[in-house]
Structure formats: C-alpha cells, structure tokens
Amino acid sequence: MNTLVWDRSQTPGELVCALKTLADEYPLSEGDGANLAFRKDQFAGMEFTDSVYSIAYNQISEALRGVGLALAGLNGPLDNCIFHTFGVMVDCSRNAVMTVEYGKSLMRRLALMGYNRIMFYTEDTYELEDEPHFGFLRGAYSAAEIRELDDYAYRLGIELCGCIQTLGHLEVFLRSAGTAGIRDTSDILLVDEEKTYELIRKMIRFWHDNCRSRNLHIGMDEAHNLGRGKFLDKYGYQNNFEIFNRHLNRVNTICSELNMNPMIWSDMYFRMGSETGDYYDLNTDIPADVRKCIPPECKLVYWDYYHLDSDFYDKMIEQHRSLGKEPAVGSGLWTWYRLFYDHRQTADRVLPCIDSCRENKIGDFFFTMWGDNGAYCNFPSVYAGLAWGAESAYGQQPDADRLEALSAALKLPSYKETLRISEMNHQIACRDNGVGTLSILLWDDPILKKGWRHLKLDDENIRSEFMNTLEAVLAQIAPGTYFQLTGRLLLAKMTATVELENAYRRKDLPALQKIRQDTLPEIIRLYEEFIREFRSQWKSCCKLNGLETIQIRIGGLLLRYRELILQLEEFEKGIIPEITGICIQSDSRCNPARSCYLDYAVTGTH
C-alpha cells in the first residue's frame, strides 16, 4: 500500500488532527507532493486524476471515509451519508468491557468507514464517587479512561455519547445488599425515592464532566415490572404510564440542570399502551394525557432488530412522530447469542430498516452490537457488518470485492472469509432467530442434553443435515483458526453424543470403554484448547473482568464430561444401573416439548 500524502496548507484545518491521528496506524503522511486533496462542499464526492484523490465533503466523517476508500485504492464512489448522525453502540455491560486501546483502534476504523458517533453501553461499568457497589469487579471505566476515549474520538471527528441506564437493566448493581433502599424489583430502581435521584445525578454528572457531548442516552427500556416490587408495597398500585412519566420528568430535570440532552429507548411507551405488552403492536394506545407529559427535550430512540419489511418500519416511525417526536433509529448487527457475527440475520433486517429511514428522512441512526448472555461473540468478526452497514448508509449497494479491498486497507479481517464463517450460524433446520444454535450446542450439558433435545438432534435427518453442512462450511474457511477450532469442537461433541447413545442402547461395553478412554478425553482437550483461544481473543479486545463467567461455564462443562467418564466407568462395572439423562428409548423424559430457552441456556446475563 502506497503512502498517501496531504499538504497542510491545502487541507481544511478541521481535518488536520484526524489525519495525524490516523497516521499512527495507516500510511498517511504530511508533506509536499500531495496525492490527497480536500474541499469543503455541500455534496460529498471523490475523483482520482493525475494520481491525486480529490475528496469533496460536507461532514468530517465523509472526508475520512474518502480517505479510507483511497487507502483501498478505490476511486469512490463517495456520496453524502443519508444520516446526519451515523453511529455504533458497543455493549460494555454483559461481561466484556472494551479496553481503552482497543476502543481507540475501533474508532480509527469507524472514522475511515464514515461513522461519526460511538456509544459505549454501560449499565454499571463506570465508576461513581462514593458508590463502592457500582461497577465493583466489573472492569468499570474510570473518569480518566472516558476522558481519554473522548479526547481520541474528538480528534477523529467522532462524538462519544454516554449510553447508560437510569431505571431498569441494573440487576448486577442492585444485587448488592447496599442498594436495598433504592431497589424496586431485582433490576429496576425505586421511583420517587430521593436516594434514587441522588444516584442518577451522579450518573449524569459523570458523563457531563468527562465527555464533550451534551447528548446522553439514559436508557429506560424493558422495565417490565415497574412499580410491582417495593414501590407497590410502599405506595400501592399506580398506573405504569404515570410512574414512568413522573420518573422520566425527574431525570429530565436533572439533565436540564446539567445542560444535557437526554434520549431514551422508546419501547416502554408502546408496551404500556399495548394490550399484549408488545413493543411492536401497531394498535397500541398511548393516551393523550400521557403524550403531553413526555418531556419535549427528551428524544425517543426506536430500536428494531427483527422486522423484514420496510413497510413495518415506516409504520413504527409514523407512530413515533404521532407522539410529537422525531425519532432516532437503532438497528442491530447480530452479535448476541452468537459465537461470531451473523451476517444473514443482519442483512435481512438492516436493509429494509435503512430503506425506510431513507424514505422517511431519519437523521439519527446507529447500529447496536449487543452481548447478551455473556458477550462471547468474537468482536473482530463484526467489522464485516460495520463495513457493510456503512456502504448501505452511504447509499451504496454493498459489493463483496469492494468490501474485501476496503477491509484489507483498513486492517480488518477478510470480509469474504468472515461471511463464510458467518454461515456457520445457519447450519441447522431449527434455525432459531433469537438464540444462536452453535452457542446452544457449545454450552449444552453432555449428560442432560437439554439443548440437544431442544434442537431436535435426536432426529437423524436434522442432525445429518446440520453436521454435513457444518463440515462443508468448515472446509471453506482457513484452517488452524479459532473458528475452525469451534466448528471441530462442536462436530466432535455431536459425534460423541451419537456414538455414546448408540453404544449405550446396545449395551456394547467395549464401545463404551473406547468412548470413555479415547473419545471423551479428546472432547475435554478440545474444550481446553477452545478456552485458551477464547481467552487470547478476549484479552486482545477487553479488560479481564468478565472473562471469569465464560471460564466458569467451560470449567463446569469440563467437570460434567469428567462426571460422564465416571458414570461410564461405574456403569461398566455394574455399580450404577444407568447413566443420568441418556434415554434408551424416546419417552416423556426426553420430550422436546418440555425443553425451552430457560432449560438449555446458561442463565445469568453477566
């Protein structure tokens, strides 16, 4: 890759700091003989003539996207972003808290893709003065760390915007005995309690003091049991709309006093107005008096990671506007309940969402990257989604060859390879849209096999389809990688399960002995290799806090495999009559209808 040269005297001053910052990693240099030229213009554009990339831009993010294209040797096209604010939200609350250095690396790449906002979703993973239970042993960001991240974002023309919770989703913090006085239910703060607002003032003050941005996402989503715990005991039953609006207005007042502009996830208004409690109920009824009480300063964020047609997004955007609000829209790059980024689920949902936002002239848009159930998704794999999503937001039809070249220039994992890896998420007939099938298998207890039954893998046709297609995908991806190891582990686990079931039904003691002595120890070895590789990738991105959750899960599985070895040995010797959970014939004990998500998932988000 040739070095791109820019001339300070010919470069708008607002770009100088960003170009110098990007030069820490990319071949950009200040000097004579420039082959990068910039011009401020209403319309973004890019031309390559006489070995010079001429970049016209309206926003800094458009100029830096042009630089990214030039680094890749691509002569545009460069268009205006269809959004004024185009950002990402990184989940730093489900175990994985991104390190400052990796956060900077991420921001460099985001800048070169054309993003101009980043939010670190932090429920309790930032430090508050005189609040020892807040973020305890969670890798919480210090004030100095957030200031360092904010300074770096500013240098790249990116707004770092706080993204917190001021009502629900605070279950980890509220587990502490020291929070009993402000706890309504296990995850919701106690509304109307003055100590609650003292805490929230500290939360808002933290982001006010350590970020340039005056925008602050204050959360307030999915507070399903609002007013049904200690609040109910203390004040009796009250209408949810009234409780919610009263609390929001109190928090909004704090924001106003600190000159902060709040935004909230919008779902609670729609859920409370729905007879079924469904966010996406188009027949929801939000009373006029409730609408009047929504603070005019508070922006609503419509989040939707699920719908497949733009018409539905059109209707939900109109519903938000009927509340007198111009919404921000949050779509999703599918990383939750996944071992690696899921492109098919993402593309099917993001494209209609962006199409709708374009038609409805939405100005504020961002991608979420959630880490539900432990944040075990391989983070670098999501760069494919970020690059693809940026193409869509800049009005381009994503092209695999173009994105491959861009990924190489920006030092991202191979785009095409990542999409091949992503297909491992879809190699089973069950194809659960919510919970990734690979993670179900990874965490599944080898003796009880609840996940196995949920996925109907006792059905030979379903099982064969999955194993054959997974093998086909593995044959197409690079050997010796974490992704190959994961696939090999899961295939070995499935093969061992089938062999064990068959040998057990036949009472084939020599076969059981071989499984005990050879097959199961190999599964244990693969799990041990997996957790070593997983730890390495975790350390490259995240603080060590939170890794213990994944290590404990894997440690539990290793112990269960050793228990299975012991039970096999005892069965062979006639000490026990049967092995727990292994059924000789299908009966009520292994009825898949008895399995549900709570049965097979590893519970505990954090």
Domain limits, the chain: 4-71, 88-381, 427-600
What is 88-381's CATH number, 3.20.20.80, 3.50.50.60, 3.40.50.450, 3.40.190.10?
A: 3.20.20.80
Three-state DSSP class for 160? Answer: strand
Query: What pLDDT is attached to residue 427?
Result: 63
State residue 182's pLDDT score. Answer: 98
Do residues 590 and 453 touch, judged by C-beta distance below 8 A? yes
CA distances from 53 to 9, 68, 391 (A): 16, 11, 19
**What pLDDT sits at residue 600?**
38
Report d(CA 446, CA 560) in Å as an integer. Answer: 7
pLDDT at 16: 97
pLDDT reported for residue 587: 42
Q: In the prediction, which pLDDT does 436 show?
A: 74
**How far from each other are the two terminal CA atoms of the chain, in whole angstroms?**
42
User: Where do the H-state alpha helices sit in 322-459?
Assistant: 343-359, 383-393, 400-409, 415-422, 437-443, 450-454
b or e along 250-271 (b: 16 or more beta carbons within 10 Å of the residue's beta carbon)? bbbebbeeeebebbbbbbbbbb
**Cis check: omega of the bond before 479, within 30 degrees of 0:** no
pLDDT for the residue numbered 526: 98
- CA dist 366 and 302 (Å) reads 11
What's the CA gap between 523 and 351, in Å, rounded?
40
Are residues 213 and 160 in contact, defined by beta-carbon separation less than 8 angstroms? yes
Q: How many CA atoms lie within 13 A of 391 on its CB side?
A: 20
Which class for 385: exposed (0-12), middle (13-18), buried (19 or more C-beta within 10 A)?
buried
Q: Looking at residue 510, what is its pLDDT?
A: 97
Long-range contacts of 186-191 (CB under 8 A, 24+ apart): 186/229, 188/223, 188/225, 188/226, 188/229, 190/229, 190/230, 190/231, 190/234, 191/167, 191/226, 191/227, 191/231, 191/243, 191/246, 191/247
CATH topology of domain 4-71: Double Stranded RNA Binding Domain (3.30.160)
pLDDT for the residue numbered 316: 98
Residue 23: which residues within 8 A CB-CB, separation 6 or more? 29, 30
> pLDDT at position 601, please?
43
Q: Give the residues across from 364 on adjacent strands.
A: 85
| pLDDT for position 104 | 98
For the chain, residues with pLDDT lower than 50 are: 429-431, 585-590, 592-606
Phi and psi torsions of 295, nearest 5°: -55, 130
Q: Which CATH number fits domain 427-600: 1.20.120.670, 3.40.50.460, 1.10.10.10, 3.40.50.620?
A: 1.20.120.670
Q: Which residue type, as a one-letter code, is found at position 34?
A: A
Q: Which tokens go with 443? A: 């965490």
DSSP conformational letter for 184: E
